[in-house]
Structure 1
Amino acid sequence: MSIKVMLVDDHILMREGIKNLLEFDGSIEVISEASDGVECLDNLKHIIPDIILLDINMPNKNGIEVLTEIKKKGMSVKILMLTVHNEVEYLLKAIDIGADGYILKDTESAELKRAISYIIQGENYIQPSLIPALNSRLVNRDVDKEKIDSLTRRELEVLIQVSNGMFNKEIANSLDISERTVKNHISNIFKKIEVNDRTQAAVFAIKNNLIQLY
């Protein structure tokens, strides 16, 4: 069964290129397209895809406004934000609102499909190459010592690898532990640092200098 996608981008050539890449092997089907936020929300009155690839910078309603409305309506559709390097402030807003993933518009097709697959499985995704841009905006010398001290050494290791964009299987292989153990660590980490997903955990790590400290 193919993954149903809605493409939302104001550049038709971008939409055509992404559509061709996604549909190449038959595992993903683009069932709807929109050129701006208003058209996207109108399309959602008639069809609900599994995931929306949502451009941040669009006319009429931008991606942040669309994301906000979708979340307010409680729609179950997954959202993967399409961004460029100079839109970090928008990306931070999307993190706060609760998008499921963030990826650069010029990424390779394999990573885009990987992100979609990961999000569909219920995980969050942030492209590793976005971490330095986030780092430059978020690093804070005043660390949240109480929350950091509540983490075990192993949980810190897992948090850093999550923040570097690694998936559970990759973390398990790196630390020579099982995927179930990784999931348990991540669940404990989320509770201790009071976040809801991997992206928020990555933001916590960046803001508190953990990538530099450990």
Structure 2
Amino acid sequence: MRGAGDASTRPVRILLVNDHPVFLAGLRALLEATAVGEVVGDLTNGTDIIPAARRLRPDVVIFDFDDDDNDVLMLIRRISRECPQTAVLVLTRRHDYRTVAAVVRAGARGCAFKAARPGDLARAVEAVSRGEVIFGAHVADGVLRHFDAAGAEQPPFPELTERERVVLCLVADGYSTAAIAGELALTTKTVRNYLSKIFAKLEVRDRAEAAVIARRAGLGG
């Protein structure tokens, strides 16, 4: 993200990531028309994001997210962890709290609605490039409705199933694979399968890393 000293001296550098070339071209044209900044690159393959971000040094990466795509969540985590000076803005058709929570927990600085006016999208890009957290009007309305209805946040790691979250809680409490199997009346093979899925979704290497982020999120005793 741009520091305070250079925020007004150069345009926002933007990197686009979307696997639909037609949408990607339209988004590039829209952003260039708003003069919000400079589109320094676009990618149809998210696996290229880290080398591209290191080479192009964008202030903002814009991802498309609509279908609870765990691959996109993993990419957001990677860019947030490995390129901390780059802010992530997510474009979505959905404005439910679960979607917002998933991308923000992954590291995104904000969400913008795909049907937003060009000026609103430009303001969102400028805001996250300055380190602000922003939600489009439709997204913000969804978040407020969630809190009005539920009065509290949803459980952490919405990308996990309820059973995977239970397994992760036990990992955070220091349970071994055999102990988890005994606690949940499962076979050790089934527990290992759950652990593999959890590690992949959270993009961690092993149970030690999983336990750390789980405890940071308030899971476990």
Q: TM-score range by the shorter chain?
A: 0.5 to 0.7
- The CA distance in 1 between the partners of 2:60 and 2:88, in whole Å, is 6
Query: C-alpha deviations, 1:107-131, integer Å up to 9, x for none?
Result: 2111000111122223211111113
Q: Secondary structure at the match of 2:26?
A: helix
Matches within 5 A, 1:115-154: 115-139=124-148
Name which of 17, 29, 32 aligns with 2:38. 29
CA distance 1:36–1:133, change in 2 (3 Å): farther
Aligned to 2:25: 16
Q: How far apart are residue 71 of structure 1 and its match?
A: 2.3
Structure 2, unmatched stretches of 5+, are 1-9, 154-221
State the one-letter code of the partner of 1:70. Answer: I
Q: What residue ranges of structure 1 are gaps of 5+ in the alignment? A: 145-214
Q: How far has the Cα of 1:47 moved from its partner? A: 1.9
The 1:61/1:41 distance shift into structure 2, 3 A limit, reads farther
Q: 1:77 aligns with which of 79, 86, 91?
A: 86
The answer to whether the aligner puts 1:99 opposite 2:114 as a matched pair is no
CA shift in 2, pair 1:23/1:139, >3 Å:
same
CA RMSD between the two structures: 2.8
- Structure 1 residue 87 displacement after superposition: 6.5
What per-residue deviation string (whole Å, max 9, x for no partner) do you get for residues 45-74 of structure 1? Answer: 42210111111258x973211111122325
* Equivalences, count: 144
TM-score, normalised to structure 2's length?
0.56
- Which secondary structure state, in structure 2, belongs to the residue aligned with residue 23 of structure 1? helix
* Displacement after TM superposition at 1:143 (Å): 6.5
The answer as to whether partners of 2:34 and 2:119 remain within 8 angstroms in 1 is no
- Contact residue 5 and residue 31 of structure 1 kept, 8 A: yes
Aligned to 2:218: none
